[in-house]
Structure 1
Amino acid sequence: MSQLRNEAYPLGMFGIVFLNTLFTQWIVFFFAPPGTVRGPGGAAEAVGSLSGVGALLFVGYLLMALVNPWIGGWSDRLRTRWGRRRPLIALATPALAAMFALIWTRALPAWVAIPLYCVLFVVVVQPYAALLPSVASEERVRLRMSLVGAVLALVSVGLALIAGPFLVKRLGFAGLGWAGATALLVTVLGPTLLLVETPPSEEPAAGGPKVLLELLRQQGVTRFLAGNALLTGGFTALLMAAPYVTVALLAREQTWTARLNGVLFLGMLVSIPLVGALAKRLQPLGELRGSALLAGAVLLALGGWAGASGAAAREELGAWYVSFAILGLPSLVVLALPPVVLSAFGDRDGRDRQGAFFGLNGAAINLGNAGAAVSTATLLGLGSSVEDPRGVVGVLIATGAAFALGGALFPPPRVLATEERADSEEAK
């Protein structure tokens, strides 16, 4: 019966990814629409400008980076009658849903709402990600749940990317907030209350900075985290830039963003079998590197062409569609493969410290998101209108550079293979 209840676990990935995609794509646009220097009235006045929005997001993502390892270690050591991770998720999910809804109504100042949302997001998502081994003890069950979760996450990305612009147009940003909050409550809180968490060992696992430093000293871990941070930050910047590309570079209304998003999502769907085949041939680390370099080349070429062509680029919709379709492959890889690599590192560790591993990765990718937020907002401040789209072009070029650098930083696939053999020989 408990295993049947635990089959609900993958549902949480839908709400988490749906919420995060909506937030990432629309938060800058909400406070500083294209062509404006200052945001709209109310709470946005506390932000003041695109650079102000970027600064707030930088603070929020920095808080996420700082909180992630602490929450991970705490959930590893927590002992309650309801489990060690479920209480955190159950208590924080309603608060996160409420905060997400409040952001888009301006009920709280942005300088309060955005950082608080970021912290609550970590308190929910970090323990939820680390919960998998506790609800699925067998490897085949974990693999099945991970696959189902990846499919649901992909569906939620597509839904958020395509429906988001229409939600904003028909229901306003407040409707967007309530849609995200409802999805989170239904798909995360519901399963959390059903799950049966396997009790850990009697002695709490060790935690603290010493453990994090120990994990970082493993060969290849630091390079992987740095590369993954740049890839995640690049994907975040791409989502943030899409509405501005639509309005400033293509001179279309914001609902046209759904077309670019839809093409990106279609590219992700088509790439599903290719990602699996390449992972077997190149290994996950090799595929991450190749996909990052591909995205870097496409975005650098797209930004250079848009900057040189000017208004003529607006009429070449086919080039934009093809570019975003190609970007579907690296976008899917960014979503799907990092947890696979982390699992390989975690299996080698073998000390029931999943929370610390995922917390360390969470810190890295949120540092990447912090850099993406502040750099994207700063560049958009240079020009994000039809008359002056320099900032949007700059974001495309900077995002391409981030993907290319991330690909170059990833360790070669032989790093994991070599260490696995070394560990095996040492065990003998």
Structure 2
Amino acid sequence: MAQTFAAFVVYFYVEHLGVPAAWVAGAMVAHGILSAVLNPALGAVSDRARTRWGRRVPWIVIGTGPLVVAFALIWMPPSLPPVGALVWFLAVVAVYDAAGVAVVLNISALFPEIFRTTGERAKGNTPRQIFGLIGMILGTAGAPLLYGTIGWAGMGIGLGVVCLGLYLWSFTGMIERVPSEVAATAPALGWRDQLRYTLANRAFLTYVIGSLLVQSSTSIVLATVPFYVKYGLGQQDVADTAVLAAIFAAALPALAGWSWVVRRTSPRTALLWSMAAYTVASLAYLLPSSLPGAVAVGLALGIGVAGILQLLEVALSQIIDDDERRTGLRREGTYYGVNGFVVKGSVIVQAIVVAAVLTASGYDASLHTEPSSVVTGVRLLMAVFPAIGAALAFVSFWFYPLRERDVPVPRANDDSLGDETSEEEPSAV
């Protein structure tokens, strides 16, 4: 659902509903701000929650229904003028944001609890991300086929039903630590102190800045694909599927490759290699003038995308382990929440960059034929801006201070609360 939203919501409201691009950009900024604020707030509350069903699972159960319904309604606006369509978007997306944060943040927070070492996480994350990629393929590469045959509303309902079924199935595998292992977290830190110590963690800062940059790059690529296919390649909407499917088809086997790499090097080294691959591949989108060429570039980009999917989760789990070593507390919710707060900025970056470039290039959805400058603008969006973001992410990850594959075993009563993350011995990079 998230990838369908990121890839097609701007295109749907601008191209099909006729809402001005600047208005949609403003709405996406509001969406990004709301989602960003909700992430750390719900993360801190989740860390301190105590129920007989656990800290995370109740949030997931409560949020699943509203999340699925709101997603479907995004693609089912009543017949309204552009202003009305914008109001509909803002109202429905507010519900989508609140429910989405409650569900996704708490599912993510379970990952470091279920898998305890980098080796376990790399292996465990591979099937997790394979299923995630299958969902991405259905939600992005498959979306044009769906809305092209059963309409936008049918697509929203269909994908929502599929996601609801998968969420219900996943409840059977959600395992939390026993209460005694996390009992110290409830009274230990207030909400403000949790945020303060999280933002003072140098490993987390370098990680989250790099994550924001590369996820902004990916968001720009996904949002630009429909425009790239139509104006850069001169193809019909259905060709979106081929361009997006190429990325994910390459990413599926590459996930296992990145799992092998990180288990033999370290999260930092593997992240640097994946950013280099992503930067080079994204620049290649400047070259194709035909669909086969764009598909070939997508296959190369998929290798870098697989690195993002595999390695960001592993690195963040390593940061959480290091925090527990230093503080004696398990604070997955806070870290995933603050990470979500920052990374949701990728939605804002995407909205601003895409709207600014389209506007500057002379794009006008009401025109029968767009000026040639639109082609240039779309190619810049597809290639140059993502490459810049990935290159800057490489720089940020270079300063990531945790150099070993695993952090030392946590010490329950470590008195180094607030100390800066210690440097480890350098790895391969």
Q: Of residues 369, 372, 376 in structure 1, which corresponds to 2:350?
A: 372
- In the alignment, structure 2 segments of 5+ residues that lack a partner are 79-86, 364-368, 416-429
Residue type at the aligned position of 1:314: S
8 Å contact kept, 2:284–2:297:
no
Q: Deviations over 1:356-391 (max 9, x none)?
A: 111121112111232122212222233456543233
Q: Does 1:237 align with 2:220?
A: yes
Two-structure CA RMSD over aligned residues (Å): 2.8
Identity %: 24
Q: Of residues 320, 336, 361 in structure 2, which corresponds to 1:358?
A: 336
Residue type at the aligned position of 1:30: F
CA–CA separation in structure 2 for the residues paired with 1:344 and 1:133: 8
Q: How does 1:59-208 map to 2 (within 5 A)?
A: 59-107=30-78, 109-132=88-111, 136=114, 145-192=124-171, 195=174, 197-201=176-180, 202=183, 204=186, 205-208=188-191
- 1:240 Cα offset (Å): 0.8
CA–CA separation in structure 1 for the residues paired with 2:405 and 2:295: 41
Q: Of residues 250, 260, 266 in structure 2, which corresponds to 1:267?
A: 250
TM superposition score normalised by structure 2 = 0.82
- 1:257 Cα offset (Å): 0.7
CA–CA separation in structure 2 for the residues paired with 1:349 and 1:318: 47
Partner of residue 385, structure 2: 398
How many residue pairs match? The answer is 387
Q: Deviations over 1:143-195 (max 9, x none)?
A: 66533322211222223233211001001111111122112211113433775
3-state secondary structure, aligned to 2:398: coil
- 1:208 Cα offset (Å): 1.2
3-state secondary structure, aligned to 1:415: coil
Q: Of residues 277, 289, 301 in structure 2, which corresponds to 1:314?
A: 289
Partner of residue 404, structure 2: 417
With over 3 angstroms needed to count, the CA separation of the structure-2 counterparts of 1:410 and 1:66, relative to structure 1, is same
- 1:197 Cα offset (Å): 4.4
Q: Deviations over 1:23-81 (max 9, x none)?
A: 11110110112xxxxx626xxxxxx3112112211111121111111111101111223
3-state secondary structure, aligned to 1:131: helix
Q: Does 1:25 align with 2:7?
A: yes
Partner of residue 202, structure 2: 219
CA–CA separation in structure 2 for the residues paired with 1:252 and 1:274: 33
Q: Does 1:286 align with 2:286?
A: no
8 Å contact kept, 1:77–1:206:
no
Q: Of residues 299, 313, 327 in structure 2, which corresponds to 1:325?
A: 299
CA–CA separation in structure 1 for the residues paired with 2:24 and 2:90: 9
8 Å contact kept, 1:130–1:355:
yes
3-state secondary structure, aligned to 1:327: helix
Residue type at the aligned position of 2:376: R
8 Å contact kept, 1:57–1:115:
no
CA–CA separation in structure 2 for the residues paired with 1:325 and 1:128: 29
With over 3 angstroms needed to count, the CA separation of the structure-2 counterparts of 1:132 and 1:248, relative to structure 1, is same
8 Å contact kept, 2:227–2:378:
yes
CA–CA separation in structure 1 for the residues paired with 2:121 and 2:376: 46
CA–CA separation in structure 2 for the residues paired with 1:365 and 1:413: 17
CA–CA separation in structure 2 for the residues paired with 1:296 and 1:369: 20
Residue type at the aligned position of 1:20: A
